[in-house]
Amino acid sequence: MSSQSEPVSAEDSLLQTPGQEHGSARTKQISPGHVRKLGLTRKLRDRRNFNEDENPEEKARRHKELELKPLYKELLYTIAHKMGKPSAAEVFTDEQLHHYVKEAFTMTETEHSSLMEKVQNTEPPVYCLMATIKEAKEIIGKDISGFSDPYCLLTILEDEEESRTRRSRTKPRKSVVQDAISQDKIYQSDVKKQTLNPIWNQTFILEFEEIIGASFHLEMWDKDEEISLTQKLEEIKSNFNNLRRYRALNLTYATFNQEKQVSVLMCLFRMIKDGLKEKGTDDFLGKVVLKLQDLHCAEDNWYHLEPRTETYPNRGKCHLNLKFIHKSRDGTLSAGRSAYINYCGILQQFVQAYISKQQSSTPWKGALCGEAQTLLEFYATQNDLSPFLQDLAKWVTYSKLYKSLEVDSSVLFQQLTSIEYHWHQQELPYQQKQELGDSLHKFLQYGLYLVAKYRDIFPPVPTATPKLHTLLRILVQICKTQAFQKLNPAQFELHDEVNDAIQSGTQEWFTIIKGLHQPMTKDLPEIVSALISLIKEVQKDVKNNKEVWNRVFVSAVQVDAFTVIYTKVDSLLAKEVKETLTLVEGQMEQNLANSLFPVYLSLQDIHKDKAFLQTRGVLELTNFQKLFREALPYWLNQAFSTTQDRVERAVQVDQLQPLHSGAVPIKHSSSAVDLVACIQPICQLWEQLSWPDPEEAFMLMVKLTEDLCKIVVTYCRILKERVRTLSANSDPCSAINMLCVVVNDLEHLRSVLTRLPTQLNWTGLRDRTENVIKETQFKNTLPSQLQQAQSVLEREIRSALDTLGRKLNTDIETHVRSMSTRRRTPSKSTEDAVAPLMRYLEQELHYMNENLVQENFSSLLTPLWNNSVKILHHVATQHPQQEGLMVFCQRLLYTLQCLEQCFHAEGNGLPLHTLHSDAYKDLKSHLTHHSLNSRQLMEKFFERKIWEQNVYSGEKYGAVTLVTSYRRSDQRLRVEVLNAVNLLPMDSNGSSDPFVQLCLEPKHIFPEVETRCTQIKSCDLNPLFDEVFEFLVSLDKCQTPGTCLVVSVLDHVLLMTDDFEGEAFLALKAIPGVAGGREGDLLSRQSDATPAQIRLPLMHPKPYDSILSLLESRKGERETQTFVKKRRQREKQSQERIHS
């Protein structure tokens, strides 16, 4: 125990390397200039505080003689006199331990033998067992009160002494210790009164000669004081009075539970036994016997108290701490140094040897080989070094090695935790306290130095940043420890110190980086280039601090390192930028401006990172853009000229072929793709500039938009020249194909311009400038520029489409006229005649559909369709002769239908409402009528009359009322003429003589049906007829389209032609009984329909009927001419002719 209080003046000299033995290493911290990077494994550095002229070999020899050999002898002495087993599972022989020590201390065999001989000639130590009785629990109660007054007897017995004692006994006795050896070798603890769980915490040092055959004996006894008979009787009386209390509570013995019964019986038994016992005789409580050779060099365990007999086998437990130590250890081995200093030196040498042998790039994590751990344990226990001193030695050693070797920070963190634990459990000697305080303070300063150098020592890689985090946690833990707070009473704010270290380190780092990138000459381009390199280094550092290091500092010490370094770098960088731009002021030219642009972009990126600052203040780089106003026009000019040159080169190599690449074909050519790529940098320039002043930003946007529009117009001009050049030596088909590609290129460019306001974020610019630029000025400037460029594109697209349309229209007209020639009309069928035109259209439209974008294809189809209709109409109306006109029109009608299907393309082409224009309807009607025979025309004529009757409103010429029905049973059409009303006065007396004429039309369907007439009603404009007529006609004829009942009201004129009052047309299908199933169907056999009354307004025919005119042109058909003559006569009598 006394070794803990020995002086430690030799500590630093023992721990020094050969270059440190002369100098002030004890008071001087390791130079920061010699700090090692944690990413590398290094040997101990030379501390160049010695005589430079000294021979290195001499230094090494002297270091071994003065430092290593004393420690080596201490270890040999420890091995020679080791006691107990080590705690490690693996046990090493003396030979193995000697071999390890020789290797760790780099001793030769000769040196080892010499030192071994010296150790063998030294005085052996006194072997001791330090036994600490801590406590016991659950021991037997020997007194009447149920408790005991325990104390312990301790000694070490040799085998001969114990055997001699047993042979001298006449009878077995409980005590072994008192009868075995003399009283001066027996140690007794204090007596603890009235307890079953005594606590002693007493330490005894028991000497012995040989560990083999020796055993440790501990006997626990109950102290029995000598008292008088009167006191003994008084105690018995008191205990009996306690028993009577149970009877006072009317409790019987049977009501006691088993535990209480046993307790009372034991109490009675102890009372009787105590009365019979001799006065002053102690009671045996139990013993612990341990063979020394079975013990470890240090043990801390609970041991069962063993009985001498089996009367009470369970006697409780005793907690013992046992340790083998040396007394009177030879002091000549290490020149009087304390065991603590030697332990530090041995530990340091073992760690150095382990790291050197491993030769690994990973940091040392505190592991040592089994031999080293065994030797350190033996040395610490033999010299009675407490766990606190051992952990203190490890902290001091490891913290010093941390400055020169690759030691993992977690090792130091673990030792700090152990020191903090022991600080509350044990008091350190004064000198060790001072050493601990100095060590903590020095490491704290060294750690802050490492923090200042964190960029170099802890690079932003996954393997290094955890080391920085652990180091910061160690610094935090140091400041939190009671040891540091007690031993360093001065105020020490780690947060502020780390903040200052980061700032000073940033200043130093910036100075170094600036020195590395100094311009070689004073030329402005060289100066700007140096500034670019400096800014890039700063930009990279800011990024690393933001993404990597700041998280470490915030999580470990709650320091916002990013804000600290950003503020510092902002100040330093602003100074450099302003000085450089001051030099170039007034000397700006294009090349110099180009070299300044990377400076601007890098500053822009750094400036954007201010959004991550936790605390906002005034930054010196705010509005740094104003420093580059002189260079801004040069940047814009460079972007415009570069883009225009690239566009011209792209058009020059363009072959105007669509780019068919990938699953989705690209319908424009290479120059359109290149143009978009060329325009994109200008849009990016706007984003890169991010000009802060709103008004200047607006003017900048105007300039950029103007340049983009100029590039678009230039592209249109040179693209037209390119297609003109390539088409000159190409066939017509290839020329059309190239024209299609040009249209697609222009359309693609138009879509790019449409997206331009979004790409340039005009909305955001409008929000920024709303206080300085009026909305009308904004709209009249930027949108107007874009609209002008789009107008140029639209005009060029229309021009190209018109060229395509004219070429296709010429070909279509050629095919149509070729199809309609007189000589080919009878020679080919309609399908064969139309086939060439359709093949041509399908081929051309298919190609254009594949090679034109959808918008342009649709734009081309509409005028092409209208022109096709126009061509057909022109050909149809210019037929020179009537002969063959019907066949010709049939062919043209079929052509129109084919064209309609082609242009509609099952819904993929033009919609029907676009196809069915007025011109189309007129043409279709014209061709439809001219392609029908005369009878079909007559049917069409009556169909139209029926439609006119259905839509006619009013009774201008009067009306007639009928009741009609059709009986399918006998195929009779029944017509009952009821009356006529509001007839026109046809006679000079203001009246008429009306009658009704009923006729079934057309006549070629009802040739045998005669016309029926009612009686004549004289002088009556509202005649009542009530006459019934029946027509025998088949159902099929009644259901034929166009069949109708023509009701004519005439004014009878004697000896002259009857006057025409009006006529009405009733479709036979509208008569009850006609509509429905055909003749012979089940429906036709059903009961006859109910007659229906109908009021028909009378009409007058309109002149110039187209169908009549067409029928009239067919002169050679007698039936047709008869029909036309009758209808013309009716037109002459019509008052509509007079009105028209």
pLDDT in tens, 246-289: 444 444 444 445 554 555 555 555 555 555 555 568 888 899 99
pLDDT (0 to 100) of residue 464: 87
What's the rounded Cα separation, in Å, for the pair 175 and 998?
Answer: 158
Q: Are 191 and 150 in contact (CB under 8 A)?
A: yes
CA distance 873 to 295: 125
Say if residue 753's pLDDT is above 50.
yes
pLDDT at 981: 94
- Residue with tokens 């101990």, as numbered in its chain: 44
Quick: pLDDT tens for 949-998: 999 988 999 999 999 999 988 999 999 999 999 999 988 888 999 999 99
**What local confidence, expressed as pLDDT, does residue 21 receive?**
38
What's the whole-model pTM score?
A: 0.61
The least confident of 7-21, 121-135, 794-808 is 7-21
pLDDT at 977: 95
Contact status, residue 126 vs residue 324, Cβ threshold 8 Å: no
More confident residue, 425 or 93: 93
Closest CA to 366 of 308, 417, 294: 417
- The proportion of the chain whose per-residue pLDDT surpasses 70, expressed as a percent, equals 85
- For residue 235, is pLDDT > 80? no
State pLDDT tens for residues 1007-1016.
989 999 999 9
More confident residue, 617 or 431: 431
Cis peptide leading into residue 1002 (ω within 30°): yes
Cβ atoms of residues 394 and 434 within 8 Å: no
Q: How far apart are CA 752 and CA 369, in angstroms?
A: 73
Using CA atoms, how far apart are residues 1038 and 971, in angstroms rounded to an integer? Answer: 10
Angle ∠(729,734,738) on CA atoms, nearest 5: 100
Q: What digits encode the pLDDT tens for the residues 532-548?
A: 999 999 999 999 999 99
What are 239-254's pLDDT values in tens digits?
Answer: 556 555 544 444 444 4
Mean pLDDT of 793-798: 86
pLDDT in tens, 287-325: 999 999 999 999 999 999 998 776 667 889 999 999 999
Q: What is the pLDDT of residue 164?
A: 57
Residue 979 main-chain phi, psi, to 5 deg = -165, 175
- Residue 165 confidence (pLDDT) above 60: no
pLDDT in tens, 20-70: 333 333 333 333 333 333 333 333 334 344 455 567 888 888 888 888 889
pLDDT tens column, 438-447? 888 899 999 9
User: Is the model's pLDDT at 768 over the cut of 70?
Assistant: yes
Looking at the predicted structure, is the pLDDT value of residue 215 above 80? yes
Specify the pLDDT at position 39.
33
pLDDT digit string, tens, across residues 1124-1138: 888 888 888 888 766
Closest-CA residue to 507 (of 465, 464, 560, 570): 570
Query: 433 pLDDT band (50/70/90 cuts)?
Result: confident
Structure confidence at residue 554 as a pLDDT band (50, 70, 90)? very high
pLDDT at residue 175, rounded to an integer: 59
Mean pLDDT of 614-620: 79
What number is the average pLDDT over the span 723-749? 82
Cα separation, 1056 vs 214, in Å, equals: 172
**Percentage, residues of the chain above pLDDT 90:** 29
What is the average pLDDT score of the chain? 82
Q: What mean pLDDT do residues 372-382 have?
A: 91
The pLDDT value given to residue 173: 53
CA 357 to chain centre: 46
Characterize the bridge pairing of strands 1024-1032 and 972-981: antiparallel
pLDDT surpasses 50 at 725: yes
Q: How far apart are CA 98 and CA 72, in angstroms?
A: 10
Model confidence pLDDT, tens digit, residues 331-357: 788 877 888 889 999 999 899 888 888
pLDDT given for residue 609 in this prediction: 86
Whether 824 has a pLDDT exceeding 90, the answer reads: no
How does residue 146 score in pLDDT terms, banded at 50, 70 and 90? confident
pLDDT for 1140 equals 53
Of the pLDDT bands very low, low, confident and very high (cuts 50, 70, 90), residue 19 is very low
* pLDDT tens digits, one per residue of 655-690: 888 876 556 667 778 888 888 888 888 888 888 888
* Ordered alpha helix ranges (H), 729-828: 732-759, 762-769, 775-819
Judged against a pLDDT cut of 70, whether residue 171 lies above it is answered with no
- The pLDDT tens digits for 92-136 are 999 999 999 999 999 999 989 999 999 888 889 999 999 999 999
